[in-house]
């Protein structure tokens, strides 16, 4: 049972480039979400989904897009990377239990 | 808007001493509250959660937390800290009962001295 898998683990982008951070879960969870973690800021909610085809914005959605075409996958797209998007990104999933399962994170550097 | 405040950025506790980490929340309805722990270089692990009912909740690793609606607080406690408890602790309030769509506090780093 892999849980929540994020790829890649590390990525360096140039300013203006686009990319997709992948998140997949094999627990058949309806709920998924994306966070970014910056020093001294805790984790901040970017986007979340309550099921396939349904997404909503979190605290810091600007510059990011998401879609949820399947229950298993919830990719996060950076449209035009900026240095301010340098961060560690975490994906999480949950069933209706109140416990979120987090991936191991993607460390993104934008230069 | 929902928010969570953790007033203490860094706390140092002697091994074997008791611990209390503070958390205050702002939420219009009945909150779903959580404490997560993150060890260095690791992902996040759920310690405990509060949805309703008994205001004193027990979690893993000997942690407990008490929900006080009148004070908008959800403080985390442990009677005797172990060196392995050194980590960063996050309080969070959920936008949904599933526990994802979490609004986190900025975290409290716990150091344990011998």
How confident is the model at residue B110, as a pLDDT? 97
Closest-approach residue (CA) in chain B for A105: B43
Each residue of A10-58: pLDDT tens digit?
Answer: 999 999 999 999 999 999 999 999 999 999 899 999 999 999 999 999 9
Q: Provide the pLDDT confidence category of residue B28 given band limits of 50, 70 and 90.
A: confident
User: Cα–Cα distance between A4 and A13 in angstroms, integer?
Assistant: 24
Yes or no, beta carbons of B98 and A30 under 8 Å apart: yes
A25 CA: distance to closest CA in chain B (Å): 14
Question: Which residues of chain B from 65 to 94 reach within 8 Å of chain A, CB to CB?
Answer: 90, 94
Kindly list the residues from chain A whose CB atom is less than 8 angstroms away from the CB atom of residue B51.
98
Q: Of A53, A39, A35, A75, whose CA–CA distance to B100 is shortest?
A: A35
Each residue of A85-94: pLDDT tens digit?
Answer: 999 999 999 9
Distances (CA, A) of B46 to B27, B32, B36: 21, 13, 5
Kindly list the residues from chain B whose CB atom is less than 8 angstroms away from the CB atom of residue A93.
100
């Amino acid at each position: 049972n892999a849980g929540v898998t994020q790829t890649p683990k590390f990525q360096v982008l140039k300013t203006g480039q686009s990319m997709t951070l992948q998140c997949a879960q094999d627990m058949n969870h309806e709920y998924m979400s994306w966070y970014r973690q910056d020093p001294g800021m805790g984790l901040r909610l970017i986007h979340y989904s309550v099921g396939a085809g349904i997404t909503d914005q979190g605290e810091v959605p600007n510059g990011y897009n998401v879609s949820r075409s399947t229950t298993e996958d919830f990719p996060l797209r950076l449209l035009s990377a900026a240095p301010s998007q340098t961060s560690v990104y975490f994906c999480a999933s949950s069933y209706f239990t109140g416990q979120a399962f987090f991936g191991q994170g993607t460390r993104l550097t934008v230069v | 808007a929902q928010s969570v405040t953790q007033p203490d950025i860094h706390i140092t506790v002697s091994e074997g001493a008791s611990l209390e980490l503070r958390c205050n929340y702002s939420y219009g309805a009945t909150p779903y509250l959580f404490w997560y722990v993150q060890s260095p270089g690791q992902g996040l692990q759920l310690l405990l959660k509060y949805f309703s009912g008994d205001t004193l909740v027990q979690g893993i690793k000997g942690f407990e937390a008490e929900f006080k609606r009148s004070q908008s607080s959800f403080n985390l406690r442990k009677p005797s800290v172990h060196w392995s408890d050194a980590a960063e602790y996050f309080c969070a309030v959920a936008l949904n009962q599933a526990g994802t769509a979490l609004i986190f506090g900025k975290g409290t780093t716990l150091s344990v001295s011998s």
